[in-house]
Amino acid sequence: MPQEKVEFLKGTLDMLILKVVAAGPIHGYAISQRIQQISKDFFQVPQGSLYPALHRLEEQDWLEAQWKDTSTGREAKFYTLTRKGRKQLETEVLNWERLSDAVALILRTAE
């Protein structure tokens, strides 16, 4: 677990969720685990943010959900990316890259 809680930048969580879901159908718990894992425990997604975000993305038709059995035989809600969601992900990634490039540039050159 990280020493400090890192707040998600507004909209960042949505982008990360979309990215994780883009890899294939996945349920909520797994999404939070994946984000935590990939970021090497840097991001810990609070459930209070995750599920409202998932429902919001679903409402916006960027995600769609299906109830399927998991490997343990329990029914869970699996999210997949829609075409609209994929487009949204591309835009957000592009924006993010431009943003972080710009920030990095300032940090490098403003010394």
Closest CA to 47 of 17, 23, 73: 17
Which single residue is written with the structure tokens 């490098």?
A: 108
Residue 79 CB, nearest approach to other proteins (Å):
10
Residue 13 CB, nearest approach to other proteins (Å):
13
- Helices 47-59 + 28-38 axis angle, to 10: 120
Residue 57 CB, nearest approach to other proteins (Å):
9
The residue among 56 and 98 lying less far from other proteins, judged by its C-beta, is 56
The residue among 21 and 27 lying less far from other proteins, judged by its C-beta, is 27
The residue among 73 and 108 lying less far from other proteins, judged by its C-beta, is 73
Q: Which residues bind other proteins (CB under 8 A)?
A: 27-29, 32, 46-48, 51-52, 54-56, 58-59, 67, 74-77
User: If you compute the radius of gyration of the chain from its CA atoms, what whole number of angstroms results?
Assistant: 16
The residue among 3 and 48 lying less far from other proteins, judged by its C-beta, is 48
Interatomic CA distance for residues 65 and 22, integer angstroms = 13
User: In this structure, what token pair is assigned to residue 32?
Assistant: 């939070």
